[in-house]
């Protein structure tokens, strides 16, 4: 009896989760391989010239592999508005693009 109720609760939760799959949610949900892949290609196009190829090369900007993993808000803000000599990206990249870049920076490349 108890088991049955639990299963039902899980099913409802799953349905709710997939129904509200907006871009906003995507940012807080666990990263998907698609998002990381999108972030990787955006990174290669827009960021690697300063931050190193696949974040591995010697960066001319800052080393993104050491960016604090718990500070997504700062990442989004710095990328959208720029920081010191880094140009702002808010006019070039959509919030979804920046969200994908965040997944790439956090989960996209193996740490050395
Ligand atoms: C023209 C060179 C250049 C490009 C291109 C560039 N950056 Fe930067 N970036 C910099 C420099 C320089 C800094 C260091 C800024 C500072 O702290 O003074 C920086 C810093 C950062 C930081 C750290 C900001 C902080 O709050 O400490 C992040 C995150 C970042 N860049 C992400 C990106 C992403 C994502 C892209 C691609 C969309 C990108 N950058 C493209 C030059 C660049």
CATH of the domain at 80: 1.10.760.10
Write down the pLDDT at residue 10: 47
For residue 1, being part of any structural domain is answered with: no
Nearest partner of 55 among 46, 45, 43, judged by Cα:
43
Q: What is the mean pLDDT of residues 57-83?
A: 94
The pTM for the full model equals 0.79
Residue 31: pLDDT band (50, 70, 90) is: confident
- State the DSSP H helix or E strand holding residue 53, giving kind and residue range, or none if neither: none
Nearest partner of 48 among 59, 38, 34, judged by Cα:
59
Residue 20 CA, ligand 1 centroid: distance in Å: 32
* Domain range enclosing 81: 21-107
DSSP 6: H
CA distances from 45 to 50, 53, 68, 81, 109 (A): 11, 10, 23, 18, 16
For residue 25, being part of any structural domain is answered with: yes
Residue 6 CA, ligand 1 centroid: distance in Å: 47
Q: What is the mean pLDDT of residues 86-93?
A: 97
DSSP 109: S
């Amino acid at each position: 009896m108890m088991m049955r109720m639990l299963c039902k609760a899980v099913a409802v939760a799953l349905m709710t989760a997939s129904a509200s799959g907006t871009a906003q949610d995507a940012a807080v949900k666990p990263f998907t391989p698609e998002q990381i892949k999108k972030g990787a290609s955006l990174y290669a196009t827009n960021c690697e010239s300063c931050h190193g190829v696949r974040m591995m090369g010697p960066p001319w900007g800052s080393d993104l592999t050491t960016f604090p993993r718990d500070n997504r808000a700062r990442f989004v803000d710095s990328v959208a508005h720029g920081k010191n000599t880094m140009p702002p990206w808010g006019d070039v990249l959509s919030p979804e693009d920046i969200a994908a870049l965040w997944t790439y920076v956090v989960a996209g490349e193996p740490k050395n």
